[in-house]
């Protein structure tokens, strides 16, 4: 069973929106603090090209941590599993996304997974290129192929706002550099990372990326393989085990699909073999996930039996 009408989807959006009052917009990146907590938009992209959407589907929002799944796929394609997983692990942490705590407990130092900031910074560091510009453009080209949208770019304002205030991510980078995991100028890693997080798109673009993951790396609209099956599987597995940070277990029980969140309020969902979902709802819960987005996914999962378990 699938959601076919805008009216049906709008009803779920209206119900989920009630929960916005229990959340808070992220403001540790000053530019994100301008978002309206009551916004909620969603798009569902089906393999036959049908799209159903509700809310302000034209609004562009930055990816933030959702970008971590995309940079991971790119780096796995460029370097292969062995190289990547020598530097970053495969285990969930149970800690907040920006925690530094576990880094000191592993010897040799290795971030536990690529979805926490420490691991994502290592992954971004692994994107090959002669300059930060070349690397971010390579990532952008990959995002364009995933969305089928040649106009995707990043928000200079949000990137700058994060770059200027990224004290914690700088600390993580310096710690990783001290231990030989990051081998470049920290400001350059942060330049690429903050631009990567500031890549912006609509919930329709986001749903299209979810669709590619749902279809194991193939864009069903063009029949083009965008990434190898194995890499799509690895990414989806990380989405299940770490995609919603230290709320991943509860999310797996209540919703049961591979998904990745970001502090802009975005959630990318991939319902294996069925469809992709893109959501933007900037009111966040205490773990940094969209409170309305999660509610909406719970409602959709219950109605259309989305759980893969
Ligand atoms: O590194 C940061 O803090 C942000 N650019 C991204 C964090 C994020 O989206 C975590 N998500 N829930």
pLDDT in tens, 183-226: 999 999 999 999 999 999 999 999 999 999 999 999 999 999 99
pLDDT at 81: 98
Verify whether ligand 1 is closer than 6 Å to residue 97 (CB atom).
yes
Q: 65-197 sits in which CATH class?
A: mainly alpha
DSSP 187: H
* R_g of the chain computed on alpha carbons: 18
Q: How far is the CA of 97 from the centre of ligand 1 (A)?
A: 7
Query: For the chain (length 309 residues), average pLDDT per consecutive 10?
Result: 86 97 96 95 97 93 98 98 97 86 86 95 98 98 98 98 97 96 96 98 98 98 97 98 94 98 98 98 96 98 96
Q: How far is the CA of 93 from the centre of ligand 1 (A)?
A: 16
Q: Rounded to an integer, what distance in angstroms lies between the CA atom of residue 234 and that of residue 228? A: 10
Strand (E) or helix (H) holding 17: helix 6-17
Q: 6-62+201-220+228-304 sits in which CATH class?
A: alpha beta
Closest C-alpha to 235, from 52, 84, 43: 84
User: pLDDT digit string (tens) for 41-57?
Assistant: 999 999 999 999 999 88
Domains in the chain: boundaries:
6-62+201-220+228-304, 65-197
Question: Which residues, in sequence order, are bridge partners of residue 41?
Answer: 280
What does each C-alpha distance from 69 to 27, 74, 87, 170 come to in angstroms?
A: 23, 9, 16, 21
Q: Rounded to an integer, what distance in angstroms lies between the CA atom of residue 218 and that of residue 232? A: 9
Catalytic residue among 45, 46, 53, 193: 193
Structure pTM?
A: 0.97
pLDDT at 240: 97
Helix (H, G, I), strand (E, B) or coil at 230: helix
Give the side-chain half-sphere CA count within 13 A for 305.
1
pLDDT at 105: 86
Closest C-alpha to 214, from 256, 158, 271: 271
């Amino acid at each position: 069973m699938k959601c076919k009408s805008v009216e049906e989807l709008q009803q779920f959006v209206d119900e989920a929106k009630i929960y916005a009052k229990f959340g808070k917009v992220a403001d540790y990146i000053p530019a994100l603090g301008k978002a309206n907590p009551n916004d909620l938009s969603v798009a569902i992209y089906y393999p036959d090209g049908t799209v159903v959407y509700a809310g302000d589907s034209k609004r562009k929002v930055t990816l933030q941590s959702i970008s971590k799944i995309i940079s991971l796929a790119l780096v796995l394609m460029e370097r292969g599993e062995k190289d990547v997983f020598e530097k970053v692990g495969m285990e969930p942490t149970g800690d907040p996304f920006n925690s530094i705590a576990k880094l000191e407990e592993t010897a040799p130092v290795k971030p536990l997974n690529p979805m926490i900031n420490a691991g994502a910074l290592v992954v971004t560091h692994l994107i090959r290129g002669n300059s930060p510009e070349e690397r971010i453009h390579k990532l952008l080209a990959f995002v364009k192929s995933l969305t089928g949208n040649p106009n995707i770019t990043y928000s200079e304002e949000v990137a700058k706002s994060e770059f200027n205030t990224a004290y914690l991510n700088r600390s993580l980078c310096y710690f990783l550099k001290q231990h030989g995991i990051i081998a470049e100028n920290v400001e350059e890693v942060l330049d690429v990372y903050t631009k990567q997080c500031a890549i912006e798109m609509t919930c329709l673009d986001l749903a299209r990326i979810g669709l590619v993951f749902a279809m194991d790396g193939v864009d069903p609209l063009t029949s083009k393989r965008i990434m190898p099956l194995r890499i799509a599987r690895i990414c989806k597995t990380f989405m299940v085990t770490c995609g919603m940070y230290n709320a991943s277990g509860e999310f797996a029980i209540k919703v049961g699909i591979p998904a990745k969140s970001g502090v802009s309020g975005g959630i990318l969902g991939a319902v294996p073999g069925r469809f992709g979902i893109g959501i933007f709802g900037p009111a966040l819960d205490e773990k940094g996930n969209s409170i309305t987005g999660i509610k909406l996914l719970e409602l959709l999962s219950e109605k259309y039996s989305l759980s893969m378990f």
